[in-house]
C-alpha cells in the first residue's frame, strides 16, 4: 500500500465500513485475518443468501469474481466491490459461454443445472443453479423423465449422480485446487494418524471421495467437525476452512490433506489474492466495482432465484 504513515488496517476497515454502510461478506477460503473482520462468513449458498438479504449500500465481497457477480445480480442497485478483480476461478474458466452454448444445443431436451462457480453468461443459459450444499436437492427437483446437463464441475456431477441415481450429462470442468489432492499421500497420513477421519469437499476427485468418511460443502464440513466425537480430521478442501474449524473446536486436530506435489496447491490462488490492504483500498476508493449490463443481470437472475427459492 502506498502510504507513508503506519495505519491500523483493521481499525480503518471497520471505520470505513461504518461510514459507508458497507458489509463484508467472506468465503471460508479467505485468509483467517479476512474472515475475522467479515460481517458474514459462509459457503457459496449462505453468501448468496446473505447478499440477497443485506440492507447495506455497498457489498464488499471477499471471495472470487463469480461470487461478487452473484451478489450484483441479486442487488443491481447496490455497489458491489471486490478486493482484486483478478480473483477468478478455474471452474468458471473451464466453461466458456460459446462452447457451453454449443454443448447445450446438442442436448435440446435437457434441463441445464449449473454449479454457482460459473460466469453470469453461463448462468443466463442455465435453467437452475446449485451449490455444493444443495446440489442433491436441486437435481431431485427435476422430474425423473427429464435429461439433465450438469456443469461445470464433473467431480461434483459424478458425486451427485452416485447420490441421486440420476444419469446426467457432465461438462468436463474441474477445480484446480480440489483435483490436486493425492490419495496416496492421504493414505500415508491415515497410517500415521489411524484415529483421524478423512473429510472431503465433493469437488475432489472420485478416488479421494471413495475413501472419505464424510463428504460435504464447506459449511457441512464445518458442522460435521463441530458435532463429531472424533478428535482428529484430515481435511480435503481449501485450507482456509481450517481457521473456523480451529476456532470452533480448539481441542481438535485438523490436518490439511496434501496435494500431489510439493506446491501449496491446497490453497486457492484466486481466493488468496485478497488481502487486508486490498480490502482497505477497495472500501476507500469503492472499486474495483462489479459492473454488469441490465440485460445480463435480468437473464442470469432467473436461474439463481429458482435455486434460492428451492433452498429456503
Ligand atoms: P462451497 O462454498 O459451496 O463449499 O464451494 C466451495 C468452493 O469451491 C467455492 O469456490
Ligand atoms: Fe474456484 Fe476451486 Fe478456487 Fe473454489 S477453490 S474458487 S472452485 S478454483
pLDDT over 90 at 264, yes or no: no
State residue 265's pLDDT score.
80
How many angstroms separate the alpha carbon of residue 131 from the centre of ligand 1? 7
- CATH fold match for the domains 3-87+271-294 and 178-256: yes
% of the chain surpassing 90 pLDDT: 95
Which residue has a Cα nearest atom 9 of ligand 1? 44
Q: Which residue has the higher pLDDT, 283 or 1?
A: 283
Q: Which of 132, 204, 241, 273 to mutate to test the pocket of ligand 1 (most atoms within 8 A of CB)?
A: 132
Taking domain 91-174, whether its CATH number is 3.40.50.10800 is answered by: yes
Where are the domains positioned within the chain? 3-87+271-294, 91-174, 178-256
Q: Which of 131, 137, 176, 181 to mutate to test the pocket of ligand 1 (most atoms within 8 A of CB)?
A: 131
pLDDT band at 263 (very low <50, low <70, confident <90, very high): confident
Q: Which atom of ligand 1 is nearest to the CA of 201?
A: 4
pLDDT tens digits along 21-34: 999 999 999 999 99
Average pLDDT over residues 226-245: 98
State residue 4's pLDDT score.
47
Q: Is 151 helix (H, G, I), strand (E, B) or coil?
A: strand
Say if residue 93 is exposed, middle or buried (CB neighbours under 10 Å; 0-12, 13-18, 19+): middle
State residue 260's pLDDT score.
82
- Which superfamily does 3-87+271-294 belong to? NadA-like (3.40.50.10800)
pLDDT over 50 at 104, yes or no: yes
User: Among all chains, which residue has been given the C-alpha cell 437435481?
Assistant: 139
C-alpha Rg value of the chain to the nearest Å: 19
Count Cβ atoms below 10 Å from residue 229 Cβ, excluding itself: 5
How many angstroms separate the alpha carbon of residue 217 from the centre of ligand 1? 7
Rounded Cα distance between 235 and 281, Å, is 33
CATH T-level topology, domain 178-256? Rossmann fold (3.40.50)
Average pLDDT over residues 123-137: 98
Amino acid at each position: 500500500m502506498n502510504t507513508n504513515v503506519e495505519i491500523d488496517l483493521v481499525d480503518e476497515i471497520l471505520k470505513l465500513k461504518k461510514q459507508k454502510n458497507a458489509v463484508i461478506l467472506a468465503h471460508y477460503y479467505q485468509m483467517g485475518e479476512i474472515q475475522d473482520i467479515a460481517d458474514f462468513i459462509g459457503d457459496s449458498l449462505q453468501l448468496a443468501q446473505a447478499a440477497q438479504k443485506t440492507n447495506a449500500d455497498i457489498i464488499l465481497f471477499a471471495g472470487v469474481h463469480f461470487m461478487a457477480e452473484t451478489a450484483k445480480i441479486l442487488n443491481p442497485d447496490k455497489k458491489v466491490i471486490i478486493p482484486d478483480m483478478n480473483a477468478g476461478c478455474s471452474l468458471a474458466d473451464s466453461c466458456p459461454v460459446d462452447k457451453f452454448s454449443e454443448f447445450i444445443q446438442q442436448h435440446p431436451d435437457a434441463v441445464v443445472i449449473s454449479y454457482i462457480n460459473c460466469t453470469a453468461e453461463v448462468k443466463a443459459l442455465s435453467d437452475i443453479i446449485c451449490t455444493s450444499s444443495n446440489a442433491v436437492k436441486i437435481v431431485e427437483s427435476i422430474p425423473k423423465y427429464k435429461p439433465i446437463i450438469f456443469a461445470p464441475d464433473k467431480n461434483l456431477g459424478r458425486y451427485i449422480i452416485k447420490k441421486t441415481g440420476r444419469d446426467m450429462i457432465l461438462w468436463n470442468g474441474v477445480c484446480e485446487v480440489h483435483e490436486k489432492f493425492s490419495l496416496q499421500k492421504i493414505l500415508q497420513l491415515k497410517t500415521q494418524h489411524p484415529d483421524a477421519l478423512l473429510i472431503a469437499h465433493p469437488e475432489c476427485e472420485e478416488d479421494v471421495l471413495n475413501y472419505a468418511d464424510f463428504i460435504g460443502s464447506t459449511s457441512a464440513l464445518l458442522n460435521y467437525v463441530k458435532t463429531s466425537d472424533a478428535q482428529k480430521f484430515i481435511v480435503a478442501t481449501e485450507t482456509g476452512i481450517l481457521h473456523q474449524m480451529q476456532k470452533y473446536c480448539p481441542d481438535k486436530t485438523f490436518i490439511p490433506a496434501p496435494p500431489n506435489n510439493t506446491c501449496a496447491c491446497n490453497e486457492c490462488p484466486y481466493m488468496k489474492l485478497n488481502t487486508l490492504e486490498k480490502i482497505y483500498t477497495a472500501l476507500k476508493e469503492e472499486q474495483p466495482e462489479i459492473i454488469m449490463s441490465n440485460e445480463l443481470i435480468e437473464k442470469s437472475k432467473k436461474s439463481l432465484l429458482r435455486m434460492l427459492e428451492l433452498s429456503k
